[in-house]
Amino acid sequence: MLLSRLRAAVLGATGLTGQRFISFLHDHPLFKVALVTGSSQSAGRTYTEATNWFIEGTPPESVGGLVVSETRIRPLLDADVDVVFSALPSDVAGPIEHQLASHGLPVFTNAGYHRMREDVPILIPEINPGHLGLVRHQQYNGGYIVANSNCSTSGLVFGLRPLQRYGIRSVTVTTYQALSGAGRSGVASMDILGNVVPYIPNEEHKLETEPRKILGVLRDDHIEFADFRINASCVRVPVLNGHLESVVVELEERVSVETAQEEFSTFSGAPQELHLPTAPTHPIVVLTDPDRPQPRRDLTTTQQDHGMSVKIGRIREKDGLLSFFLLVHNTIRGAAGASVLNAEFAAAKGYLPVRGVN
């Protein structure tokens, strides 16, 4: 018996995050894109015809000829898929993902609808691999839902996890978030060109709560949230990709710049140990130039990190406070790439079905 790639459905495949999913999955060793869904306007057309491709390159040939289905339960179940990746808007995603899990499908979602459910992990395998066990407590017929975090949270937790051993008392974070975080048409040009908008709806609440769940402790069927406070301010800036974050951490134990650099640069986790296909060799890359990281200079993806590494620089220590800047690729580590890595980790831990061929 040989193992065959699992058949994957990508929901919301024509949008910006959906395109990232397609880019990561089209030649993946574990998954094969078998179904793509979109709006009623896209349904019935081939993926290439229906998609205004916005990211690097062109739509992959292996997916370009697939006919887009409308995002409804019946076509998904009739398509005989093994795993679902969701790039749907949160309000649409919730009930659809629930129904798919109820029909026995594993769902890896970028949407925020289920993130704060007590039995749904916000999984980042380098940070909280044990939280995957929460899915055993979900009341579905063999299916489950695994969420990845908000795009800014995905970077912040990499700046906090290596410092947790020193006792985090409080965190103050200001984010400078790229336009792509709002989707293909999320911010009007007249609102953002030559401007900075110091408000992103619901973003500060997510950034103040999600990291505490991710960095919390699994207690059987629930997460005991990490016991520190986060104060967040979120700003939209005229940058295409990459969320830059200014982070100030108050610690119980004083940490020098040199110690912080060592903690960040040597940090790794389960995806690196397992050599998962989407895992970067170094999940955190420390930059030592005083004016780094910068989205335009440091976000460029390489064959080594796939855009999945978080860059940290300008590390400073003063009066017991540790300060630094970090940069995360919001549509890769903060969205599609994170979900794909979650599915790879679930497969490695035996949480996905095995498809055999003679």
pTM of the predicted structure, to 2 decimals: 0.96
* Cα-only R_g, the chain: 20
Q: What is the DSSP letter of 138?
A: S
Domain check: are 115 and 158 in the same one? no
Q: What is the DSSP letter of 93?
A: H
**Active-site annotation holder among 114, 151, 234, 329:** 151
Domain check: are 319 and 351 in the same one? no
Does the CA dihedral 291-332-163-274 come out positive or negative? negative
Q: What is the largest CA-CA distance in the chain?
A: 65
Domain check: are 305 and 351 in the same one? no
CA distance 358 to 13: 31
pLDDT band at 1 (very low <50, low <70, confident <90, very high): very low
pLDDT value of residue 184: 79
Note if 234 is an active site residue.
no
Domain check: are 116 and 185 in the same one? no
Domain check: are 167 and 251 in the same one? yes
pLDDT value of residue 303: 62
Q: Which two tokens stand for residue 162?
A: 């290596």
Residues 6+ apart with CB under 8 A from 99: 73
CA distance 312 to 297: 13
**Active-site annotation holder among 114, 131, 234, 243:** 243
CA distance 290 to 162: 21
Domain check: are 142 and 172 in the same one? no
pLDDT in tens, 108-149: 999 999 999 999 999 999 999 999 999 999 999 889 999 999
Q: Where are the alpha helices (DSSP H) in the chain?
A: 16-25, 47-50, 61-64, 73-78, 90-102, 151-160, 189-192, 203-214, 257-265, 270-274, 295-298, 337-348
Domain check: are 245 and 316 in the same one? yes
Q: Which residues of 180-193 are buried (b: 16+ CB within 10 A; e: fewer)?
A: bbbeeeebeeeebe
SS3 per residue for 145-174: EEECCCHHHHHHHHHHHHHHHHCEEEEEEE
Judged against a pLDDT cut of 90, whether residue 217 lies above it is answered with yes
Domain check: are 134 and 168 in the same one? no
The strand pairing partners of 4, in sequence order, are 355
Q: Which two tokens stand for residue 111?
A: 């949407």
pLDDT band at 358 (very low <50, low <70, confident <90, very high): very low
Q: Report the number of secondary-structure helices (H) and strands (E) in the chain.
A: 12, 16
Give the total number of structural domains in the chain.
Answer: 2
Instruction: Name the strand (E) or helix (H) holding 106.
Output: strand 106-109
Domain check: are 78 and 198 in the same one? no
Domain check: are 164 and 105 in the same one? no
pLDDT in tens, 247-295: 999 999 999 999 999 999 999 999 999 999 999 999 999 999 999 999 9
Domain check: are 24 and 81 in the same one? yes
What CATH number did the domain enclosing 267 receive? 3.30.360.10
Domain check: are 58 and 7 in the same one? yes
pLDDT value of residue 5: 94
User: What is the percentage of the chain residues whose pLDDT exceeds 70?
Assistant: 97
Containing structural domain, residue 303: 151-330
Across the range 84-104, mean pLDDT stands at 95
C-beta separation of 241 from 331 below 8 A: yes
What CATH number did the domain enclosing 90 receive? 3.40.50.720
